[in-house]
């Protein structure tokens, strides 16, 4: 159901969405009411359409095994999260539909035609047993999609009326650390590769959580002595690959003909400064890095040609454009979510016992 999917947030949003605070009323005048949103009461058939859509979204996200996840989000099972997600989506559509009515938003003739086609198509796709069990009619599906059309129309009009500040967009884009780093570098520098052999002696080590922590003072002194010895031996003409086999504490040090490839973009500025000062076959002095001491031997430098630089710049421009589009979309969504939150505060929401006792999987699969 295309329109319902447009209203239903992505599964990631479901995981981080705030839970709607609702009341509980076990004395509904209409015993068929599962929940109410404002003045509107929602019955079983309509609830099941939303549950069915959310159920299939979760299957698309995680397959059949998704329902076996006991801690899907915040200590809740996938079943519980899906049920809450369906509820949040249903409430949002109802609130927006009611607000659209207040603002006099109507559907165009073409939208009505599409609505009828989509309702028929989706109704026919539902399992007959499921429809019969929960009293889902073509009219039920039509009404659900109609609500979604009106809700989406209000959302679009609200977003269109909101003016973004260019500084906001720029700030959102620059939250992408990789983009900022690449933006501040020339293509030729990013694409230049250094093929080196490398000796490293660590002053830090990873703890059980994978975090680098400093070794004690004595071991740091030992590391300094060890790297000095490696440098002295290499300076005396012993083959660098033999020195690194004996001294380097990283097995990926490039003890072969091609060594290891390092991009200028990957390396700290101090490392680059030393590598730029040496020619092929030469080695750097000892460099003190964040986690240890290093010595590099330059094998050769590979610089990009014009075609490679041109292709990179083209791809970067496309990526940059997509980041700005994503930033604008996120800011529009954040702005609309703020408005929606204010609208939601003024709406009374009550859940009936049938909703409270509902198990999503049992309702869909049995």
336 domain-assigned: yes
For residue 55, the tally of other CB atoms under 10 A from its CB is 22
Containing 121, the helix (H) or strand (E) segment is: helix 109-125
Could you tell me if residue 308 is inside a domain? no
Kindly state whether residues 38 and 133 are assigned to the same domain.
Answer: yes
What tokens were used for 362? Answer: 């049992």
Q: Residues 293, 351: one domain? A: no
> Quick one: 109 and 209 in the same domain?
no
pLDDT digit string (tens) for the chain, length 366 residues: 544 444 444 433 434 343 444 545 544 456 678 999 998 999 999 999 999 999 999 999 889 999 999 998 888 999 999 999 999 999 999 999 999 999 998 888 888 899 999 999 999 999 999 999 999 999 999 999 999 999 999 999 999 888 888 999 999 999 999 999 889 888 998 899 899 999 999 999 999 888 999 999 999 999 999 999 999 999 999 999 999 999 999 888 887 767 889 887 778 888 989 999 999 999 999 999 999 999 999 999 999 999 999 999 999 999 999 999 999 999 999 999 999 999 999 899 999 999 999 999 999 987
Residues 160 and 23 in one domain: yes
Using CA atoms of 275, 277, 283, 284 in order, give the dihedral in degrees to the nearest 10. -70
- What residue numbers bound the domain in which 278 lies? 193-302
CATH number, domain with residue 215: 3.10.50.40
3-state helix, strand, coil in the chain (%, to 5): 60, 15, 25
Query: ∠ at Cα 146 (140, 148), nearest 5°?
Result: 110
Phi, psi of 353 (to 5 degrees): -60, -30
Tell me: do 146 and 280 sit in the same domain: no
> Which tokens is 95 given?
């609130």
Cβ–Cβ < 8 Å for 191, 266: no
pTM: 0.67
Q: How far apart are CA 43 and CA 45, in angstroms?
A: 6
Q: Do 243 and 162 have their domain in common?
A: no
The CATH number of the domain holding residue 125 is 1.10.4030
Are residues 350 and 293 both part of a single domain? no
Is there a single domain that holds both residue 117 and residue 231?
A: no
């Amino acid at each position: 159901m295309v329109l319902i999917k447009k209203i239903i947030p992505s599964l990631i949003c479901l995981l981080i969405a705030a839970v709607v605070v609702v009341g509980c009323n076990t004395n509904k005048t209409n015993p068929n009411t599962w929940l109410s949103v404002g003045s509107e009461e929602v019955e079983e058939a309509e609830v099941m359409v939303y549950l069915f859509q959310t159920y299939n979204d979760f299957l698309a996200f995680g397959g059949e095994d998704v329902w076996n996840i006991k801690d899907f989000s915040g200590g809740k099972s996938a079943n519980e999260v899906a049920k809450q997600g369906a509820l949040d989506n249903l409430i949002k559509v109802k609130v927006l539909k009611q607000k659209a009515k207040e603002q006099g938003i109507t559907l165009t003739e073409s939208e009505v035609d599409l609505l009828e086609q989509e309702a028929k198509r989706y109704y026919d796709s539902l399992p007959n047993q499921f429809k019969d069990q929960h009293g889902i009619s073509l009219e039920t599906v039509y009404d659900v999609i109609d609500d979604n059309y009106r809700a989406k129309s209000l959302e679009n009009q609200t977003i269109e009326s909101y003016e973004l500040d260019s500084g906001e967009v720029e700030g959102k884009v620059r939250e992408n650390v990789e983009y900022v780093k690449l933006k501040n570098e020339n293509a030729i520098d990013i694409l230049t590769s250094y093929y080196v052999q490398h000796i490293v002696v660590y002053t830090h080590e990873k703890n059980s959580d994978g975090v680098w922590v400093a070794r004690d003072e004595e071991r740091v002194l030992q590391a300094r002595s060890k790297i000095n010895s490696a440098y002295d031996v290499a300076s005396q003409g012993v083959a660098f690959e033999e020195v690194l086999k004996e001294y380097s504490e990283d097995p990926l040090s490039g003890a072969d003909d091609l060594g290891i490839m390092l991009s200028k973009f990957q390396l700290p500025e101090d490392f680059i400064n030393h590598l730029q000062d040496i020619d092929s076959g030469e080695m750097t002095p000892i460099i003190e890095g964040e986690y240890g001491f290093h010595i590099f031997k330059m094998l050769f430098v590979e610089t990009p040609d014009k075609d490679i630089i041109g292709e990179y710049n083209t791809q970067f421009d496309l990526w940059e454009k997509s980041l700005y589009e994503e930033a604008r979309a996120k800011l529009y969504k954040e702005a609309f979510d703020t408005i929606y939150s204010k609208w939601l505060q003024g709406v009374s929401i009550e859940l009936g016992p049938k909703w409270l006792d509902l198990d999503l999987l049992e309702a869909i699969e049995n």
